[in-house]
Amino acid sequence: MIIAFDGPAASGKGTLGKKLAAHYGLRHLDTGLLYRAVAKAVLDAGKSPEDQNAALAAALTLDPARFDEAVLKAPAVGEAASIVSAMPQVRAALLAFQREFAAVPPGAVLDGRDIGTVICPGADVKIFVTATPEVRARRRALEFANAGRGMDEAAVLADIKARDDRDMNRAAAPLKQAADAHLLDTTEMDISTAIRAAIDLVEATRAGRGRG
């Protein structure tokens, strides 16, 4: 079984991906970390995230086994990741890795921005997770605060809106809800309610398809 979660920044898709992977005994891949790792490699090399050659070179030599999620979740890395992820050649370089990860039995849970539309268009269950920009900014600011990186919520909101605009309007694999994806708006949900709602969507889909 392949479960695809898509959605904008801080919508809750990553947390839901991890929780449902554990619930169903599947592997989980936060595909956003791939682009963050590319961005960090570019920054560490002293290059601009706009440098397409540097970004492609980083994508081709990526080693997911060496990822440090805490470091990759830094605000500057996230901002740079939004830039490199809009590059068609970078997306193409990471496409095979993501598809191969999903294809290993008994399946996987992947979350990102183009899982249900590009990476795994044949996923058994597709869920598009969203929430208002204000709620997402509040969540992200709290996440930064808990990690000891206090940030002004207004600045976080501005960054989220800018990333939304880039992600939805980029030429390569723009962020959008797949035609056959379930919409899950987590604006008014706490995490336990959102997890229950996501599991219910998976179960309803499996029941409709003979529990594949």
Q: Are the C-beta atoms of residues 6 and 116 closer than 8 Å to each other?
A: yes
For residue 82, the model assigns a pLDDT of 87
User: Rounded to whole angstroms, how far apart are CA atoms 97 and 212?
Assistant: 24
Give phi and psi for 179, each to the nearest 5: -60, -30
d(CA 38, CA 84): 8
Q: What is the mean pLDDT of the chain?
A: 93
Q: What b/e sequence results for 13-45 when a residue is b if at least 16 CB atoms lie within 10 Å of its CB, and e otherwise? A: bbbbbbbbbeebebebbbbbbbbbbbbbbbbee
- Reading the block at residue 192, the tokens are 């336990």
Second-level CATH architecture of 2-208: 3-Layer(aba) Sandwich (3.40)
Q: How far is 168 from 147, CA to CA, in rounded Å? A: 28
What pLDDT does residue 59 have? 95
Q: Is the pTM of this model over 0.95?
A: no
Q: What is the pLDDT of residues 33-58, one digit of tens each?
A: 999 999 999 999 999 999 999 999 99
| Nearest alpha-carbon partner for 178 in 102, 104, 113 | 113
- pLDDT confidence bin for 210, thresholds 50/70/90: low
Cβ–Cβ under 8 Å, residues 144 and 156:
yes
Could you tell me the residue ranges of all domains in the chain?
A: 2-208
